[in-house]
Amino acid sequence: MTFIPTSPAETEAMLETVGVKSLDDLFDAVPKKHRFPKLNLPPALTEMEAAAHLSDMASSNENVRQDLVSFLGAGAYNHYVPSVVDHMLRRGEFYTAYTPYQPEISQGTLQAVFEFQSLMANLTGMDVSNASHYDGATATAEAVSLAYAQYRGKRKRIVMSPALHPQYRDVIDTYTQGMGVETVGDEETNLTLSPESLTSYIDENTMIVIVQYPDFLGRIFDYKKIIDEAHAKGALVCVVANPTALLMLKTPGDMGADIVVGEAQPFGIPIWYGGPYLGFFTTKKSYVHKMAGRLVGETMDVRGQRSYVLTLTAREQHIKRERATSNICTNQGLLALAASVYMSVLGKEGLSEVANLCYQKAHYAAKELSKLKGFKLFSSEPFFHEFTLQCPKPASEVNQYLLDHGILGGYDLGNDYPELKNHLLVAVTEMNSKEEIDALVEVLKEM
């Protein structure tokens, strides 16, 4: 009866009001044969015991703050989260509220989401943002759904860069199983080709072109040309962007992208063994009716006060049902708040400092590592805070050696690209001190 406030006497009184003799009598509609199964679960722990048990489980992991030095990124990044962020998230007024269906008593959530939409649109250089998606991968899959709906299912081709995050490509494959579409471009094994080589796949049947910025191997390309080519064929272009990189880089909006999505975990959300994270979705105003997910719009209440409501809800599943573009209902509300507080409390200058630290440290690491015998950078393209390092041995062996020295080396690209089995994807953020970078270099030197 851990969190049940009702006393035995109250229980009796309530049963009498209902007109049944016992609690079990409430369940006569349940088939007798299966009623009241004996559950084989461990006995209940008190709060004190549960806290100790979970603490044990947590400490049996090796974490990247106390136990390991980490250069692992590949879609989840270890950043500093200012203290204010969690203080705000821990306010029960935010985290114990539901989706703001009743705007009169949900203005806190609604204005916070409106501000999140505004921050993301400003960051990506787009017109509008929705209230969030489950993560970067599902946001990308929803971009495909937008394009599919935009062309009413008449265009059937997805052109996808091979340097789009492999898990994002997997999720798109899963999501599109019922659409009868084809995916081309990502089977290319020559990863040194420029992204413009994708244009040969874009035809009049193409609904969307998907590229990543910086790409999965860390390279920064200006996608303007490919975007123009796609537009010439009537296709939409979705850019999957890293939000920390966008603090420094030319915006995809500036390049003419139609949709900019991505993973906003780097903005105030712990790496948390993979989730929950925060998918963002921004687009041009002309596609807003085809965009999935909740949207907050500004309005006025009967007293003349500026206020906010969920708007264009007739696009969504609860009204449009099987004709809705997406089934999304619950999204990542609280984490959108985390990202907003993160951006607000660091502000323009603080955020630029984060981006610059990432950039500087990654470049220092790349420079030092490529001085080592047998190591060199895979590409001479510009990069931001992640780069591909060619190693003298399989990346799996390098990683094992580093782990023995307390270092998480990077992402083994051989997992997804057999031809890159000697390559590590190395991420460096503001969390990595010069000392840590030097230690990485030192350990590898001795390997």
Partner 1 sequence: MSTIIEPTIFELSSPGRRGVRMPASDVPLVDSLPQHLLRSELPLPEIAEVDVVRHYVKLSKLNYSVDEGFYPLGSCTMKYNPKINEDTCRYPGFLFTHPLQPIETVQGNLALMFELQEWLKEISGFAGVTLQPAAGAHGEYTGVLMMAAYHKLRGDTKRTKMLIPDAAHGTNPASVGMMGMQVVTIPSDSRGNVDLTELEKYCDDTVVGMMLTNPNTLGMFDENIEKVIEMVHKCGGLMYGDGANLNALLGIVRPGDLGFDVMHFNLHKTFSVPHGGGGPGCGPVGVSKTLLDFLPSPLVGIIEESEDDETAPFYGFVTPEHSIGRMKAFHGHFGGGMVRAYTYIAMHGPDGLKAISQYAVLNANYLQAKVRGHYKIPFDRICMHEFVAEGRFEGSDVRALDVSKRLMDYGFHPPTNYFPLIVPEALMIEPTETENKDTLDKFADALIKIAEEAKNQPELLHNAPSTTKFGRMDEVKAARELVLCCWLPENYEAMV
Partner 2 sequence: MNTPSNLKYAKSDEWFDPASGKVGITDFAQSQLSDIVFVEILVDEGEDVTAGKPIASVESVKASAEIYAPASGKVAKVNKGVVEKPELINSDPFGEAWMIQIDGGVAGDLMDSAAYEKDSASRAH
Ligand X SMILES: Cc1ncc(COP(=O)(O)O)c(C=O)c1O
Of 277-336, binders to ligand X (CB under 6 A) are 329-330
Considering only 352, 371, 419, 442, the residue that binds partner 1 (CB under 8 A) is 352
Residue span binding partner 1 (CB under 8 A) among the ranges 29-37, 185-193, 229-237, 439-447 = 29-37
For residues 142 and 281, is the Cβ–Cβ distance under 8 A? yes
Q: Specify the residue, 46 or 330, whose C-beta has the smaller distance to ligand X.
A: 330
Considering only 200, 232, 370, 403, the residue that binds partner 1 (CB under 8 A) is 403
In terms of Cα–Cα distance, which of 208, 320, 183 is closest to 259? 208
Please name the residues in contact with 9: beta carbons below 8 A apart, sequence gap of 6 or more: none
Q: Specify the residue, 195 or 293, whose C-beta has the smaller distance to ligand X.
A: 293
Considering only 225, 231, 233, 250, the residue that binds partner 1 (CB under 8 A) is 250
Indicate whether 102 belongs to the interface with ligand X (CB under 6 A): no
Kindly identify the residues of this chain, within the stretch 107-146, that bind partner 1 according to CB under 8 A: 107-109, 111-115, 117-119, 121-123, 125, 127-129, 131-132, 134-138, 145
Q: Specify the residue, 237 or 346, whose C-beta has the smaller distance to partner 1.
A: 346
Q: Specify the residue, 60 or 330, whose C-beta has the smaller distance to ligand X.
A: 330
Cβ at position 62, least distance to partner 1 in Å: 4
In terms of Cα–Cα distance, which of 372, 389, 384 is closest to 441? 372
Q: Specify the residue, 320 or 445, whose C-beta has the smaller distance to partner 2.
A: 320
Q: Specify the residue, 133 or 198, whose C-beta has the smaller distance to partner 1.
A: 133
**At residue 398, what is the residue type?**
V
In terms of Cα–Cα distance, which of 74, 67, 75, 79 is closest to 403? 67
Pairing of strands 376-377, 386-390: antiparallel
Q: What are the residues binding partner 2 (CB under 8 A)?
A: 152, 289, 312-315, 319-320, 323
Cβ at position 20, least distance to partner 1 in Å: 7
Cβ at position 252, least distance to partner 1 in Å: 10
Residue span binding partner 1 (CB under 8 A) among the ranges 28-36, 182-190, 233-241, 370-378 = 28-36
Q: Facing residues of 69 across strands?
A: 407
| Overall residue count recorded for the chain in this entry | 447
Indicate whether 190 belongs to the interface with ligand X (CB under 6 A): no
**CA–CA distances in Å: residue 405 to residues 21, 52, 68, 423:** 66, 29, 9, 19
For residues 265 and 336, is the Cβ–Cβ distance under 8 A? no
Indicate whether 184 belongs to the interface with partner 1 (CB under 8 A): no
For residues 201 and 159, is the Cβ–Cβ distance under 8 A? yes
Q: List phi, psi (to 5°) of 424.
A: -110, 140
Considering only 163, 209, 249, 391, the residue that binds partner 1 (CB under 8 A) is 249
Residue span binding partner 1 (CB under 8 A) among the ranges 64-72, 196-204, 228-236, 372-380 = 64-72
Cβ at position 98, least distance to ligand X in Å: 9
Cα–Cα distance, 311 to 161 (Å, whole number): 34
DSSP assignment letter at 250: P
152 binds, among ligand X, partner 2, partner 1, none (CB under 5 to 8 A by kind): partner 2
Cα–Cα distance, 425 to 274 (Å, whole number): 18
Kindly identify the residues of this chain, within the stretch 65-94, that bind partner 1 according to CB under 8 A: 65-68, 70, 72, 74-76, 78, 80, 82, 84, 86-88, 90-94
Greatest pairwise CA separation for the chain in angstroms: 83
Please name the residues in contact with 136: beta carbons below 8 A apart, sequence gap of 6 or more: 75, 165, 168, 240, 261, 262, 263, 264, 265, 277, 279, 280
State both tokens at 201.
């796949």
**At residue 41, what is the residue type?**
L
Indicate whether 26 belongs to the interface with partner 1 (CB under 8 A): yes
Considering only 187, 192, 204, 322, the residue that binds partner 1 (CB under 8 A) is 322
